[in-house]
Every structure is written in C-alpha cells, then in structure tokens.
Amino acid sequence: MKWPIVPLHKVAYLESGFGFPRDFQGDPNQEFPFFRVSDMNLEGNEVFMFNYTNTVSSATLSKLGARGFPEGTVIFPKIGAAIATEKKRILTKSATYDNNVMGAVPKECVHARFLYYWFLRLKLTEQANPGHVPSIRKSVMEQIPFELPTVSEQHRIVKILDEADRLRRLRREADAKATRILPALFLKMFGDPATNPRGWPLHEIREFVKPVSRRNPMLKPEQSFQYLDISGVDGGQGVVLESKQILGKQAPSRARQEIKWHDVVVSTVRPYLRATALVPQFLDGQIASTGFCVLRSCPGFGFGWLYALTRQIWFTEKLNIRARGASYPAVTDSDIFSLIIPLPNDESLLREFDIWITDIEILREQTSGASNNIESLFNLLLEHAFSGQLTAKWREAHSKELLAEMEQQARLLNLPLPKELELGL
C-alpha cells in the first residue's frame, strides 16, 4: 500500500504575508497577532506561536489590504538570511504575518501537525533562489512533492512524533535550567559587575590576561591542522565549537592563534557576536578562527570567573556600545581588552569558582550527549514517518479501513485510485 505523491498545493494553500508599516506596530492589545520573523525567536515560540509583540484590529487589517490566517498554518521565513535558520512554526490562533514570511494553510486532507512535521524535513535553503538576497517563491513551493497518507494514518504518525517531540522539549528545558545555573552562581559569589556591590577594584581586562599571538605557530601551506570554528550557539548564548581539519593554505591569513584548555573564546563577528565558550581539554592545541578573541587568564586569576563574566548581560551590553555605529557589526580584540571591570582580589574565592565551573562543564558535556541522542532519534523517526516505516505494522492491521479512506481521498483530490482498489484487492 503506497501513499500517493501530490504537489504541495494539493494539500495546503501557500500564502505570502503583507507589508507592516512602522506606524501600525507596537500595539499588543488588538484582535489579531501580526507576526514578524523575529517573533519566531521569542521564548515559548519554539513550535507554536504563542507570544507576540504586535497586534492589529480587523479594521487595520482591511486598511493594510491584509487578512488573517487560521490556527494550524505553518509559517517560515521567505527572504534573506533568515531562510538559513530553517525555522518553521505553527499559528495557535487566527493571525497574520508580514511580507518576509510565508505560510502553508492546511486543507481538509492534511492534519496541521502532520504538515508541520513534513516541513521539518524540508530544507528551505534548497528551495530559495540563489542571489545576493535569497528568497523563496510561492510557485516553487507549490510544486514540491508531498507524500500523502490517509488522515487516519496521519493522526497515528502525529501521535508518535508528538510524544518524541515532547521528550525533546523536556530535554531542552532541562538544558536551559542548567544554563541558568552559571550566571546565578556568578552573581551570588561576586555580585553584579554593573553595580559592583562588593567594591572590587577596577581594572582593564588586559591587566590579567596573557597575550595570545595571532602569528604563532607559522604553518606551512602544505601542513594540515585542526581548525576551530563556530557551528552555532546554545540557548544560553554560548558558542558551539566545531573542529575541522584543513590545510595551512586554506586558513585565513590571521588564523594563527593556538588555544589552550580553559581559554575563554569570545566571538567578535556576526551572527554570533559576543557569544562565548570555555575551551575543553579535548580541543587543547587547536588553531582558532579569526572570528575569536582569545582570553587566557594569568596565574592567580580564575578562568571560571573570566568565562562567567563574559556570559553576563552587562558584558554584552558594554560590547554592544563598542560595536554600535560600525557598518559591519563586530568588535576588536582591543575593544574587549580595554573593558574596565571589577576584579575580585580573593584568590580562594576564584579557585572555588573554578571548581564549580569544572563540575558544571562536565555535567553539560554529559547532558549534551543525551540531547544529541534524542535529536538523532527524533530525526530517525521523522525519516521513518515519511517513508511509511513508522506505521507499517499499524497500516497492515487496518488495511481495509485505510483502503476505503484512500478511495475517498483519491476521489476528493481527483487522484488515480490506489492499485489495490483497481485490482479489486
């Protein structure tokens, strides 16, 4: 029993959003949420669009030539760099969205959650037009092949994937709680650096970090080496580091800073500006990307305290001021080294905090392995779901009912009858 394959427009209406002039923005108390791409990043909007910053009335919708879209619509970015984020979200109520967003409104033949899970497998970047500003065309999306099981089987698949997705969310919530431990512990032991309630003496960062040469080691063009770069950020704005092997001739000319265990690396360029990481032991001796500022604490100054300091909002706001006004949002090593910060002069307190940081990092490494396993399992379930393997036994046990439903579905969508029905099986 094979599922029919239809173009996406057979199961969903593809709808682009509307212009949203600034004069109409900022009102949170009207009937219809008006979503922008940035709203997909709001806490709580990881799957369902529960939270919003802008709303409009039905009269304003009419004035803008816009309209609302129903609950269950799957939305995603359709223009610019946001496409590469591969975000897909579901509307929880009648709402609209701006012209940087496209939505798929499910028809009666498709379960809204099934449509969402189908979109999770779809790479938006592969559908975008190449160019300086990538974009996704409605006409291209409409023709993408869609595997269409009966509604009963869709419900069965959604039930299984929902449970797997629930486990993913629980894991992420646990990771988020673990991430909040570090800044809370820092504030408890050292106080807020913005107000310096303990009266620690003030110093420039350069006074307690060792200089790390960007020209050492000098690698020959034919020499291969491990090169450390950024693959993303975690929920607490920590850099996710990626190690890859390249030849010396492939490295940027300034990628010559060799990092050590317990170095603190701060990203200095977009899109990960000011996100930080503590170098683990297994990355000791690798060469860092040009997009990092490497902070190596001098003896007697805690690496843990330095790392936690760079994760404070106060630190980020200070560097925001330095980056403001630049045509390309970035900060320099000098911007970081010259920051004036309250420096604890209690070495025993710094050593104690180092121990705490080490324990926290070990715990995070252990839990990240569990998180990766859950993500891998979920992705495997997705592949099995849309290849038919996930519900194969269930489908066999309900073959008669499903064949009848497939016949009804085929007539509704003007599709050929399943071969089993054509043969009278």
CATH number of the domain encompassing residue 108: 3.90.220.20
Per-residue confidence (pLDDT) for residue 425, from 0 to 100? 46
Per-residue confidence (pLDDT) for residue 200, from 0 to 100? 94
If phi over 0 gives left and psi between -120 and 50 gives alpha, with beta otherwise, what is residue 410?
A: alpha
* In a domain? residue 184: no
Q: Which amino acid is at 111?
A: H
Sheet containing 55-56: which strands, arranged edge to edge?
55-56, 32-35, 96-97
| Same domain assignment for residues 222 and 324 | yes
* In a domain? residue 374: no
| Same domain assignment for residues 69 and 209 | no
* In a domain? residue 409: no
| Same domain assignment for residues 140 and 208 | no
* In a domain? residue 371: no
Per-residue confidence (pLDDT) for residue 240, from 0 to 100? 61
Q: Computed over its alpha carbons, how large is the radius of gyration of the chain?
A: 26
Whole-prediction pTM:
0.67
**How many domains does the chain fold into?**
2
* In a domain? residue 360: no
Per-residue confidence (pLDDT) for residue 77, from 0 to 100? 95
For 130, the domain range is 1-147
| Same domain assignment for residues 20 and 134 | yes
Q: How far apart are the first and last CA of the chain?
A: 11
| Same domain assignment for residues 117 and 211 | no
Distance CA 396, CA 425 (A): 14
* In a domain? residue 174: no
Question: DSSP letter at 370?
Answer: H
| Same domain assignment for residues 23 and 115 | yes
Tokens of 349: 């307190």
Tokens of 43: 């806490």
* In a domain? residue 182: no
Tokens of 101: 């967003």
Nearest to 127 by CA among 117, 113, 139, 141: 141
| Same domain assignment for residues 216 and 322 | yes
| Same domain assignment for residues 86 and 24 | yes
Distance CA 201, CA 291 (A): 30
* In a domain? residue 68: yes
| Same domain assignment for residues 208 and 143 | no
Q: Decide which of 279, 313, 347 is a domain's last residue.
A: 347
Per-residue confidence (pLDDT) for residue 216, from 0 to 100? 47
| Same domain assignment for residues 132 and 210 | no
Q: Decide which of 301, 322, 347 is a domain's last residue.
A: 347
Per-residue confidence (pLDDT) for residue 276, from 0 to 100? 78
| Same domain assignment for residues 121 and 210 | no
Mean pLDDT by 10 residues, the chain (425 residues): 88 95 91 94 90 94 94 95 92 95 95 96 92 90 94 92 86 74 89 92 91 61 64 54 63 66 81 70 74 83 87 79 60 86 90 88 71 81 87 79 75 68 47
Per-residue confidence (pLDDT) for residue 423, from 0 to 100? 45
Q: Decide which of 347, 370, 392 is a domain's last residue.
A: 347
Strands 224-233 and 287-288: parallel
